[in-house]
Amino acid sequence: MGIIITILYTALFIYFIYKISFFNIDGISKKTLSAIFILKIFAGIFLILIYKYYYQTRSSADVFKYFDDGNIIFSAIYNNPVDYLRMVTGIDSDAPHLMKYYDSACFWIKNFNYDLYNDNRTVIRFNAIVRLFSFGYISVHTVFMCFLSFTGLTAILKVFYPIFKNKKIWLILAVYFVPSVMLWSSGILKEGILIFAFGLMLYSFTTLLYNNFKIKYLLALIGSIFLLLISKFYVLIAAIPGLVFLIWIKTTNSKYLIAKFIVVHFVFLLIAFNTQLISKYDFAQILSNKQHDFISMVDSSQHVGSKIQIPILEPNIVSVTKNTPRALLNSFFRPSIFEVHSPIVLLAAFENLIIVLLILLSFIFLDKKELKNKLLFFCISYVLILFTLTGLTTPVLGALVRYKTPALPFLFIIFLFLINGEKLRIKN
């Protein structure tokens, strides 16, 4: 029965791909888009199987723990539908009588939250909502998440498609087929929601900035920013300097690109390490605490097989600056082929080999004409900031692979900017 329902929902979303104008892309057929969507579903099912057979308990497998907690929240609908709505919407969700549901859920409450929103609840709420339609089959939840992340990736593709029409196939590969993106954005995890929200945010932002002002794009921008804030807020933070840079270039001109790029990031660096002066949050302290708590959790766990040593981060700009090069090296090049201990790590190691190869090709076949493209600067900014944040705070290779996933399409798009295809063909 679960297979039939999963197939029916897959068919429904393929129907949406054919009928919704958002998916109309000149030169890319609906058959191609539908095939990519189906591949994502297979990747999502594969991820379920990995978690099922690789992890010893359901509570240690992220896919299942969010799904199970979503079922607990959904169970309130049988006793009091209003309670279900309270927990799903967050309106009056702190009512004392709801604690029986929160106590039963394993991940609704975080031990360490730094007075920030608990982003576990976003995925749990997603599952509680989809449970209305899924009849309890996890594969159906996977199909819903695949459609969200596929929509986000399509939005990213549409932002860069006018630039890379002559590299259409390579752009499709860069956006949809990076192994980590294909896998992690297809499961019922935060990554799928992040890809959806980030793609929608960037698409609506660039449309408003460069094309035309419409209320629907403004609403999409506001909604996607909100979704990023309640999923992983640092993914949004990583994009802000690049977005401000794009606004500056649009409102002035394209002269002095590098100087403007440096100024924007210098200002944001000053703001980041003085947030305690303008708010109750201390960015450097939060960064240090997150790393410390992650290391403590790993040290106390018996199920972590890919722990790596990272320098202890102090809550100041000197420590962060000192450790940034190593953080970037970890994010770009680890795991290596010498650190493989599982199929997932093998996939990531292969991906990193491709990254090394593409970096070399970028130097050998550099396309100097594209070096002044403003969207290239945005991609560089976003990738470097997100890779730095994840590399500084993540002492587990498996987690590092997941956390850098939202930036990977942009990393491979950078290579599309930098590598001159004509030079490459002539050399061959």
pLDDT digits (tens, 9 = 90+) for 41-76: 999 999 999 888 877 677 778 899 999 999 999 999
What pTM does this model have? Answer: 0.95
Task: Report CA-CA distances (Å) from 353 to 69, 229, 337, 382.
Answer: 37, 33, 8, 21
Q: Which tokens sit at 155?
A: 């939005």
With a cut of 70, list the residues of the chain below it in pLDDT: 56, 112-115, 302-305, 423-428
Tokens of 260: 């403007």
- Helix ranges (H only) for 76-163 are 76-79, 81-89, 99-104, 120-134, 138-160
Q: What is the pLDDT of residue 304?
A: 62
User: Using CA atoms, how far apart are residues 198 and 47, in angstroms rounded to an integer?
Assistant: 22
Q: What is the identity of the amino acid at 125?
A: R
User: Quick check: helix, strand or coil at residue 162?
Assistant: coil
- Beta-bridged to residue 419, according to DSSP, are 366
CA distance 38 to 264: 41
| pLDDT number for residue 428 | 46
d(CA 187, CA 396): 20
Other C-beta atoms closer than 10 Å to the C-beta of 57 total 9
- Phi-psi sector, 114: left (phi>0), alpha (psi -120 to 50), beta: left
CB 41 within 8 A of CB 186: yes
pLDDT for 86 equals: 97
CA–CA distances in Å: residue 169 to residues 22, 26, 130, 327, 425: 19, 13, 33, 32, 16
Check if the beta carbon of residue 401 is closer than 8 Å to that of residue 348: yes
Rounded Cα gap, residues 60 and 297, in angstroms: 13
Mean pLDDT of the chain: 93
Task: Kindly write down the DSSP assignment for every residue of 17-69, as one continuous string.
Answer: HHH-GGG-BTTB-HHHHHHHHHHHHHHHHHHHHHHHHHSSSGGG-HHHHHHHH
28 bridge partner residues? 25
What is the pLDDT, as a whole number, of residue 62?
85
CA–CA dist 423, 428 (Å, integer): 9
**Are 331 and 400 in contact, with CB atoms under 8 Å apart?**
yes
In Å, what is the CA distance from 340 to each residue of 47, 88, 167, 348, 393?
A: 18, 39, 33, 9, 21
Q: What is the dihedral of CA 114, 226, 230, 64, to 10 degrees?
A: -170
